[in-house]
Chain A
Amino acid sequence: MRVADSSLARQALRGIHESRRQLGAVQVQLASGRRFTRASQAPPAAARADTLRNQLETLGRYQASSHTAADRLRAVTATVAVLTELVQDALQLAVASGSGALTAADRSCLALEAEEIAGAVLDLANSSWMGRHLFGGHLTADPPFARETGAGGYTFAYRGDGGEVIREVGPGCTVTLNLPGDAVFGSPLEAVERLRQALVDNDPASLAETTSALHQALDQVLQHQAVLGVRTAHLELWADHLGTMNCAYAENLSREEDLDFTKAVSDLHTREIAYQASLAVAARLLQPSLLDYLR
């Protein structure tokens, strides 16, 4: 078989180009720290990595959402906890003022105390968190409860709505971050007001009724508190779960696209040797000719 000089040269060049290309590929891998920098270098792995990265970024949002959700839930819980204390205070007041030993002056003194409690409950009902009223449903801009002076004392108007403030903390998974303001504060406000009015009126009979009303109100508030407790616990569990998932996805993603440095460095060495070999072979192959041996 004839071997033309051009064939030899072409083959030698091809060998050199190929080794250089492979060297370049490892260099890019080492510089970027990734097995592939473009989808076409490993389409199936790139597709998996894409899905994983998407999951990971989505999870990140859900984690952040569940943290802000937990913050808000804590604010609501704290408010309701204070409400519980206030209703308990009112109840104690009611029980204490039911004593027959008290004079009218004592009662009017206690009425002032009841008024304080009533004011505190109202403030609580209108409390806001990050500039938004917590208990007005979707109508968060204005205070949800207003006290109006009527014939037999104060009445309370609820200006909020029944809207639920929700937050998505997982795919299709939402938590409700508020409680209906009228359901939580309606009966406490009313009961405390009745207590105040009864004390002002110095009316022992209605004081006894007030006590049972306050009991009912306390029960309701405690129920709400229990609901909040369960919700917070669930949310915390969920946030933990999200954290675990995050780790798992990150690990998977790393497996798909991160470079095995040991392997890459050893590849680099092998390919360096291959490159030098191709150069040496080309030099040995191309240099001599018959002319070197003819005189």
Chain B
Amino acid sequence: MNGFFTLETGLRAIRAQLMASRVIGHNIANSRTPGYSRQIAELQPSTPLQFSTGQHALSLGTGVTVAGIRRQREEFLDRLARFHLSDLARWETLRPALDLVEIAFGEPAGFGPRQACLRLWDALQELSGEPESGTLRHSACQEAESLATTLGSLARHLDEQVQQQVAAAQDTVAEVNHLAGQIAVLNHDLRLAAILKTQPGDLEDRLDLLLDRLSSLAGATSRREGDGTVSVHIGAAVLVERDSVSPLILEITGGQLRFAGAGGSEVVPPSGVLAARRDSHNQILPGYQDSLDTFARQLAGNLNSIHQAGYGLDGSTGLDLYRYDPAAPARTLALAPEVAADPARLAASADGAVGDGYGALSLARALTGPNFTGQSAAEYWASAATRLGMELEKVGRQVENATLLAEQAENLRAQIMGVSLDEETVDLVRCQHAYAAAARLISVADEMLEILIARTGRVGR
């Protein structure tokens, strides 16, 4: 132990406090950076000096060193947060799709298929009272046509939405692949860092941010490998392993949206944006398309059989009222061209006499009878609107729940990783004091040395 020991201790303290204050500065600078985790300079007593005073063996502390700069993060909480984030992303993606369907169906206000049915019924009722009237025939034909147009435009609207789901899923897949590529690059750096035994906090933060986003998009999960890298999975399929990526591919087979990974094997995103896109494309929207098609088929079937049995003003009989293409009933439903060309051919008469409105009445009654999957036309659409409303309400509640849970998880995470400026300020003040004290220590040691050098050893001078 030489005379400069205390000076050395002071210097170490100054260095360590300076380092700590730099870390604090980094924290303060990044207090608003998304995904940043607070870092702490881990102060640790430096290796003590072992020496003997003859009788006693002493271990003398040598001051402080910075053993590491560690980011504050809990992997368990990350996993929890990602689970809820992907759930939230799923419901939040699902909601606008259903929202648009609800607006299109136009219930309870506005103009929807229920109102169109009602107006056709009304026109037919009126025609039944005055079957000779050209005006009423014309308006009944108009309403019949307008019902077909309503169904057709709804069906096309849903088609458009299905297409948009595909386009949106395509974008999401591209983003997933891009993120996966970034992770693969980071994996390379992480392996190097593991070899060099450094703790690259900022690198890890970037990785975690990418993983957060990936789990929102595709419900991806991650696993830490022994070599410091991270492997990412979607369901059971591998997305990233070390620095190789198995890019996700979007496929449409048999009208079903699916995702494929390496070697064309199917990848099933458990939640996240992609799961929502898949569900709305494969199940939810087709469900409403089916209800349109079923209605169009039943409408044409019921009204045609009555219409064929009736007679028009000009004695025409055996004509259809509606025509459609069985492959896409709702989209192609239209008034039969014979009737559209001449409303006199509308079979308002059941017995062929011009004054008979029983045909029109039967057509009207077909709309209020239990001919649409056991319901009247109005009930059919009211229950469709209710079903949709309930589903949307359910999704809305899921969004609320998921938002709360995700926020809760984020808060738990933030308790560990978030920067608190007050806390950093306190630390900074402590650093400053420690620094000042260490500086004082140096000057005291200096004075002591001065005493030794300047005032002693005067003998013989």
Contact = CB atoms under 8 A, between A and B. Distances in A.
Interface stretch (A82-90, A132-140, A182-190): A132-140
Contacts of B102: 38-40
B351 A47 contact: no
A150 B155 CA distance: 67
A68 B382 contact: no
Interface in A1-55: 1-7, 10-11, 14, 34, 36-41, 43, 46-47, 49-51, 53-54
B357 A166 contact: yes
B357 A2 contact: no
A2 B353 contact: no
Interface stretch (A204-212, A260-268, A276-284, A287-295): A287-295
Interface in A42-100: 43, 46-47, 49-51, 53-54, 57-58, 61, 64-65, 68-69, 72
A38 B389 contact: yes
Interface in B127-172: 128-130, 132
A161 B356 CA distance: 11
Interface residues of B, number: 58
A46 B425 contact: no
Contacts of A39: 102, 107-108, 385-386, 388-389, 392
A7 B349 CA distance: 74
Interface in B394-423: 396, 407, 410-411, 414-423
Given A2-B420, A137-B353, A140-B355, A43 B390 contact: yes
Interface residues of A, number: 56
B109 interface: yes
Contacts of B107: 39, 46, 50
Contacts, number: 170
A103 B31 CA distance: 129
Interface in A244-267: 257
B21 interface: no
A58 B118 contact: yes
A161 B382 contact: no
A227 interface: no
Nearest to A257: B108
Contacts of B386: 39, 43, 46-47, 50
Interface string B353-391: 111111001001100100000000011001101101110
Given A4-B420, A40-B393, A51-B382, A168 B364 contact: yes
10 contacts: A5-B419, A5-B421, A6-B32, A7-B415, A10-B410, A10-B411, A64-B126, A137-B353, A140-B132, A140-B355
Interface of B: 31-32, 38, 102-103, 107-109, 114, 118, 121-122, 125-126, 128-130, 132, 349, 351, 353-358, 361, 364-365, 368, 378-379, 382-383, 385-386, 388-390, 392-393, 396, 407, 410-411, 414-423, 425-426, 429
Given A40-B390, A50-B382, A58-B118, 9 more contacts: A2-B416, A4-B417, A5-B420, A40-B102, A61-B126, A132-B132, A132-B355, A166-B128, A289-B425
Interface of A: 1-7, 10-11, 14, 34, 36-41, 43, 46-47, 49-51, 53-54, 57-58, 61, 64-65, 68-69, 72, 130-132, 136-141, 161, 163, 165-168, 171-172, 174, 257, 289-291, 294
